[in-house]
Structure 1
């Protein structure tokens, strides 16, 4: 059982996948910071101070004993209020779109690097070459 597991883990594509997941997680934190610390503040400045991350709709009553502000999303969430946090969702969607675009660009670049630019076309199969030779010979006779 352990030998099969060791063989599975030692396969190249499993190790590549593990490295990709770790790098992807680290890259996701960079993208999250880009979204939350750079892009969303710019959007907020352009929209007159609108902060999407704290926008929500209260779906139920405020929990008993809550004494904080009714506009404080983190405090209401911590108190257990039922809310639809649409602003946080918008922020996460923007974060995803940025990350997906960057990954798309990386895959495009990697694909271009793998394929030689001046690659000669592949030779046709031997049967095709033979059939073309027969065709050309018949044309020359007729």
Structure 2
């Protein structure tokens, strides 16, 4: 049973999946920072200068706390719809990035299936000059 588990765990697919999960977690952290630190502050300013992540609805009657942190500290149940909107934006960004990656992979697969190879890169300028010198020297002989 141990050998069978080792064979399973060391298969290429499992290792590829593990790498994908780790990179996905790192990418999610970057996207979260992009949404929370870069995108939402200007949106909050446009909406009246309020921190968008603090948009919430307190589910109790009486004095509503000013921030979601205060509501949490006081044990007041709240619908944190601002955080939900942040999560939706993060999802949209990750989904779009994944779409772009998959689109490029599918295009590459189609090119490979048709037998096309990627276009070769242009040679460096000095290589072109050396070829011209070589050809000029051959022309003299």
TM over 0.5, shorter chain: yes
Change in CA separation of 1:48 and 1:79 when aligned onto 2, cut-off 3 Å: closer
After the TM superposition, which parts of structure 1 deviate over 4 Å for at least 4 consecutive aligned residues? none
CA 1:72 to 1:48, structure 2 compared with 1: closer, same or farther past 3 Å?
closer
Note the C-alpha offset of 1:104. Answer: 0.7
Shift of residue 79, structure 1, vs aligned partner: 3.1
Structure 1 Cα separation of the partners of residues 97 and 4 of structure 2: 36
Q: Which residue of 2 aligns with 1:33?
A: 33
Matched residues, number: 114
1:97 maps to which residue?
Answer: 92
Q: Larger relative CO (CA 8 A, sep 6+): 1 or 2?
A: 1
Q: Larger radius of gyration, structure 1 or 2?
A: 1
SS of the residue aligned with 2:100?
helix
Change (3 A) 1:3 1:78: farther
Contact 2:41 2:52 survives alignment (8 Å) = no
Give the structure-2-normalised TM-score: 0.72
Q: Which runs of 5+ in 1 are unaligned?
A: 63-68, 121-142
- Which residues of 2 match residues 1-142 of structure 1 at below 5 A? 1-60=1-60, 70-116=65-111, 119=114
